[in-house]
Amino acid sequence: MRVATWNINSVKARHERLLGWLERCRPDVLCLQELKVVDEAFPSLAVKALGYDAVVHGQKTYNGVAILSRTPPEDVHVGLGDDVDDPQARLVSARVSGVHIVSAYFPNGGEVGSDKYAYKLRWMQRLRDYLDRRFDARRDQVLLTGDFNVAPEDDDVARPDAWANGVLTHPEVRDALEHVRAFGLQDTFRPFHPRGGVYTWWDYRGRGFERGDGLRIDHHYATPALAARAIGATVDRRERAPSEDINEGPSDHAPVIVEYE
């Protein structure tokens, strides 16, 4: 089973890229973030024509997440399902071939100390509570994947000094991610790239991609039995580059693919 995650940064602005990438890569599951469309505007028919069922939790302008699957998704859950009144569409889950897939778009956090930053930390605690409530890490196969907006280690950052103590690298945020992971998840990407230096996001500003100034903030976290079946992990950097035959620019994120036996 090949699973990909991709923050597409507007499914409208990258319609052709989405379909072209699906055709080329043919993952079994694709988790998307930052759709920036309501459910009705998601190209469900176009992806269906390529063989994918889509589970969509959309939102106008901001956020929006989805799960595309070649086998029918079951047991769909939308949002964190707690008693917090939260209009932001950042999480959807579905069971695919016995695996609980969770597509998540963690809050960016704006600036350290801001209201958005507090929301980010609280959201991550709510995510841990959600996992505790819904799953047993020893019994269930769970794959939490998406744009986590956290670079876990300094070697997940091309210029750690320049990004130090920002919302993507702050020790407080890394601790919050460790708390999510401690539910019983393992990073299934990093073991295939033990020396680090592999990135998934490059800022549009300052030509980050061209300068190699990236961070690894998109992740695949799996429960142990599933993690043990991981046999490879890659970033499709080609999708982050400008394309000559598509009249659409790249997202600021590249797709991250992990294959499970």
CB 227, min distance to DNA, A: 27
Contact yes or no for 42/11 (Cβ under 8 A): yes
Contact yes or no for 13/61 (Cβ under 8 A): no
**Of 166, 192, 196, 236, which one interacts with DNA (CB under 7 A)?**
166
Q: How far is CA 187 from CA 145, 195, 225, in A?
A: 10, 14, 13
Q: Which is nearer to DNA, 90 or 95 (CB)?
A: 90
**Of 2, 10, 129, 246, which one interacts with DNA (CB under 7 A)?**
10
CB 117, min distance to DNA, A: 10
Instruction: Give the C-alpha separation, 107 to 9, whole Å.
Output: 14
**Of 195, 205, 244, 245, which one interacts with DNA (CB under 7 A)?**
205
SS3 state of residue 107: coil
Which of 109, 152, 144, 110 is closest to 127 using CA atoms? 144
Q: Which of residues 59-78 bind DNA (CB under 7 A)?
A: 60-62
Does 13 contact DNA by CB under 7 A? yes
Which of 99, 73, 69 is closest to 229 using CA atoms? 99
**Of 204, 212, 228, 231, which one interacts with DNA (CB under 7 A)?**
204
Does 118 contact DNA by CB under 7 A? no
**Of 21, 52, 148, 163, which one interacts with DNA (CB under 7 A)?**
163
Residues in the chain: 261
Catalytic residues: 105, 147
Does 160 contact DNA by CB under 7 A? no
Max distance between CA atoms of the chain, in angstroms, equals 48
Q: Which is nearer to DNA, 12 or 229 (CB)?
A: 12
Contacts of 53 (CB under 8 A, 6+ apart): 68, 69, 70, 71, 72, 73
Does 152 contact DNA by CB under 7 A? no
Does 115 contact DNA by CB under 7 A? no
Per CB under 7 A, residues contacting DNA are 9-10, 12-14, 36, 60-62, 107-108, 110, 116, 162-163, 166, 203-207, 248-249
